[in-house]
Amino acid sequence: MFENYRVFETTLAGRPLILETGKVAQLANADFLVRYGETVVNVAVTASAKPREGIDFFPLSVDYEEKLYSVGKIPGSFLRREGRPSEKAVLAARLIDRPIRPLFPKDMRNDVAVVCTVLSVDPDCSPEIAAMIGTSAALSVSDIPWKGPICGVMVGYVDGQYVINPTEAEKEVSLMNVTVASTENKVVMIEAGANEVSNEVMLEGIKLAHEENRKLVQFIKDIQTQIGKPKFEFESNEPDEEMYEAIKEFAIEKVRHALDTDDKVEREERLHLVYSEVHEKFDEAYPEMGAKIDECLYKLQKYVVRRWLLDEGKRVDGRGLNDLRPLAAEVGLLPRTHGSGLFTRGQTQVLTVATLGMSSDYQILDGIDNEDKKRYIHHYNFPSYSVGEARPSRGPGRREIGHGALAERALEPVIPSLEEFPYTIRLVSEVLSSNGSTSQGAVCGSTLALMDAGVPIKAPVAGISCGLVTEEDRWLTMLDIQGVEDFFGDMDFKVAGTHKGITAIQMDIKIDGLTFDIIEEVLAKTEKARIYILDEVMLKAIDKPRPELSKYAPKMLSTKIDVDKIRDVIGSGGKIIQKICAECDVKIDIQEDGMVFISSMDIDNARRALSIIETIAKDPETGAIFKGVVTRIMDFGAFVEIAPGKEGLVHISHLDVKRTEKVTDVVNVGDEIIVKVLEIDDKGRLNLSRRDALVELEGLQAEPISRPSGQQRRRPDQRPPHRR
């Protein structure tokens, strides 16, 4: 039945890697079922027979579909089925898209779809890596034009040793988690999170990953040799050379003048005039080819920018290759928010706002990994006005999700633990103006906002991007690329970090890969630049986290109680905890491990609630003093509640420093009084004394304890036998 069924096997990081084809999804251009350990991912690739009309880009789509049955879960949504992709699924799709996209023909307009469906997950065998390998194999053996294969692995750094494809346990203690994709000879994609590692540690890890990738590339090439199909012919969208040369001759000086400014708005206005003049001249000569004329003008702009850089070392705004645009930083812009920071680099400007919430405000995650909640959240918004366009907002796209995740990853190593800072932290980066590398602007703005909010981060973080232009064996890099250099250059290499080391990397390219010489130079340049940004700009705006939180931020206290005491603090039906919240005007979150978080706008209220909870959870010790409420009056004394559910007796002889004839002469129900624990009997009952508390706290003199009139002390031989 399955005549074309083939199985190919190898090992990856000591675990079996099996690629099967020819059994399922036989109507796709190519399909592989990838088994890595007990992780199983199906990858299908398809392409349209004809190009899509009216577009000026290559229409590639990559979908990474997380199925919760892969980890034995039922979706938590109302419909109990998977909905829109999770943020992690979007990031996984981008991880696969970025290394494969540069290897497609740039003039192809046929739709290509890659669908990776996660069917089973072994947490120690990454489904993202399995999906990337399956995608490369499927594209390689298919008839779709593509200049692969590529392969990718993760690399960690544990106890001074590099680890390829670390397990879940190893990832928890690794100083870096880096994904590297490569062709046989070059690196095509890097995605990294790290705990302030040095350039040298990062570079050696990338090299090791590349060597592992080369083995996998050869494995896929062997498969391609055995079952690969001839690539189909496609209709090129490349403009006619004669048309391009005619437009170039007419417009090249106009384009040079238009591009030669550091003001993006002015550049766009000049280019608009050039486009109008070119269309006026050539529309009649090339009827119904307006899109091709625009393509020629795009190609001409790219030619001018690259020739300036390669031949003259000149940038469109006149800067040197290693010069940064003008920088500015400001904090405390918004009076009612918990923290805010504005970072400006040239015409790129990002405002980040920090919000602090209770630990229970964490984000609930419904995905295929073991992470089910998140207390540090970073969102990134890119409104149309930031690039001078008039479009309605439709919510975050894949780019926004990716940039927010990059900024989040850059700052994650410096966020204090829950025990150190018992808050949920949300950062929102609003891009106010965009002209290159807004994600790294978000990193800088977020550091400012966190320090303005009083979050005790371990170190400030800054980010910067580096560009590249190549021509055969020639290449040069330039710091702090703006939009036009990103559009017409070959690379956007973003690096974020502290004074100590790297915390995040994201590398995107438009060529067939990078050499290690390029990577090493970029790491060195970006390190110098980020330290300059930190010292000369950001730390001059705010040099350390504010010592106090905003008056509008909730005040948080925490403690840890015995797990067996949780039910006592909560009470039957939540009665006790609700009473504490109402009386103290606080919010309380109790976790399964006994951690208790108390939030209030008034720190004194939070302290009062904390005292009550500790009184309930910890058995009072003899000699401890409490403030309590009189709940009952008896002839022989008053019962006082020192905490919800904890009550003790103040005998009439211990109500006051003076002799007391009648309990109600001193206290009544509802009165608040201070009491001292005299004794805890073998049944846990409390004997309390207001008299001793007054003596200790207020220094009052107490009369000797005597019996109220009518009560005579019996001699020992007159006492009942059971009291002798």
Residue with tokens 């022989």: 636
> Which DSSP state fits 338?
S
pLDDT for 36: 97
Sheet holding 151-158, edge to edge: 161-164, 151-158, 176-182, 187-197, 502-509, 491-497, 462-471, 474-479
pLDDT surpassing 90 at residue 417:
yes
Please report the DSSP string for 38-96 in residue order: TEEEEEEEEEEEEEPTT-SS--EEEEEEE-GGGGT----STTSS--SPPHHHHHHHHHH
**3-state class of 307 per DSSP?**
helix
From the CB of residue 585, how many other CB atoms can be counted at a distance below 10 Å? 13
At 25-78, the pLDDT tens digits run 999 999 999 999 999 999 999 999 999 988 889 999 999 999 999 999 898 878
At residue 698, does pLDDT exceed 90? no
Residue 701's pLDDT band (boundaries 50, 70, 90)? Answer: low
Predicted local distance difference test score (pLDDT) of residue 80:
86
Contacts of 623 (CB under 8 A, 6+ apart): 676, 677
Q: Which residues pair with 65 in a beta bridge?
A: 117
pLDDT(468) > 90: yes
Band of pLDDT at residue 719, cut at 50, 70 and 90: very low
Assign domain 241-312 one CATH number from 1.10.3470, 3.40.50, 1.10.1200, 1.10.10.
1.10.10
Using a 10 angstrom Cβ sphere, with 0-12 exposed, 13-18 middle and 19 or more buried, the burial of residue 306 is: middle
Which of 160-174, 622-636, 680-694, 701-715 comes out lowest in average pLDDT? 701-715
CB 120 within 8 A of CB 153: no
Residue 673, C-beta contacts closer than 8 angstroms, at least 6 positions apart: 627, 628, 629, 630, 640, 650, 667, 690
Query: For position 481, what pLDDT does the model report?
Result: 94
Kind and range of the H or E run holding 253: helix 241-259
Q: Give pLDDT tens digits for 217-255.
A: 999 999 999 999 999 999 888 888 999 999 999 999 999
Q: What mean pLDDT do residues 19-29 have? A: 94
* CATH T-level fold of 327-541: Ribosomal Protein S5; domain 2 (3.30.230)
Residue 705: pLDDT over 70: no
> What is the pLDDT at residue 238?
86
Which of 137 and 390 is assigned the larger pLDDT?
137
pLDDT given for residue 463 in this prediction? 97
Residues 321-345 have pLDDT tens digits of 999 999 999 999 999 999 999 999 9
Task: Supply the DSSP symbol for 414.
Answer: G
Cα separation, 622 vs 692, in Å, equals 12
Torsion of CA 505, 510, 515, 519, to 10 degrees: -30
Please say whether the beta carbons of 217 and 149 come within 8 A: yes
Mean pLDDT of 505-531: 96
Query: What percentage of the chain exceeds 70 in pLDDT?
Result: 97
Residue type, 421: F
Written as six digits, the tokens of 662 are 């009648």
Residue in the block written with tokens 């994650």 = 412
Q: What percent of the chain has a predicted confidence (pLDDT) above 90?
A: 73
pLDDT reading at 411 higher than 60: yes
Q: Using pLDDT thresholds of 50, 70 and 90, give the confidence band for residue 536.
A: very high
Nearest one of 60, 70, 159 to 110, comparing CA atoms: 60
pLDDT confidence bin for 717, thresholds 50/70/90 = very low
Please identify, in words, the CATH class of the domain defined by 555-617: alpha beta
List CB contacts of 474: < 8 A, sequence separation 6 or more: 310
pLDDT, tens digit (0-9, with 9 covering 90-100), for 550-582:
999 999 888 999 998 899 899 888 988 998 999
Query: Tokens standing for 377?
Result: 């959240």
Q: How many residues in total does the chain contain?
A: 724
Q: What is the pLDDT of residues 309-321, one digit of tens each?
A: 999 999 998 899 9
Contact predicate 449/441, CB 8 Å: no
The fold of the 6-227 domain, in CATH, is Ribosomal Protein S5; domain 2 (3.30.230)
pLDDT score, position 497 = 97
Question: Which residues of the chain are in CATH 3.30.230.70 domains?
Answer: 6-227, 327-541
Name, of 467-471, 658-662, 689-693, the range with top average pLDDT.
467-471
Query: What residue spans in the chain does CATH classification 3.30.1370.10 cover?
Result: 555-617
- pLDDT of 3 reads 80
What is the chain's alpha carbon radius of gyration, rounded to the nearest angstrom? Answer: 34
Tell me which residue has tokens 């469109």: 316
Mean pLDDT of 516-541: 97
Give the C-alpha separation, 15 to 165, whole Å: 10
Q: What pLDDT score does 702 carry?
A: 65
Q: What is the mean pLDDT of the chain?
A: 91
Task: Tokens for 400, please give them.
Answer: 């926004």
What average pLDDT does this structure show over 193-211? Answer: 97
- Can you give the pLDDT at residue 56? 84
Q: Does a cis peptide bond (omega within 30 degrees of 0) precede residue 149? A: yes
In the chain, CATH 1.10.10 sits at 241-312
Measured CA to CA, the distance from residue 207 to residue 214 in angstroms comes to: 11
Higher-pLDDT residue of 217 and 646 is 217
CATH of domain 625-718: 2.40.50.140
In whole angstroms, what is the distance from residue 39 CA to residue 346 CA?
46
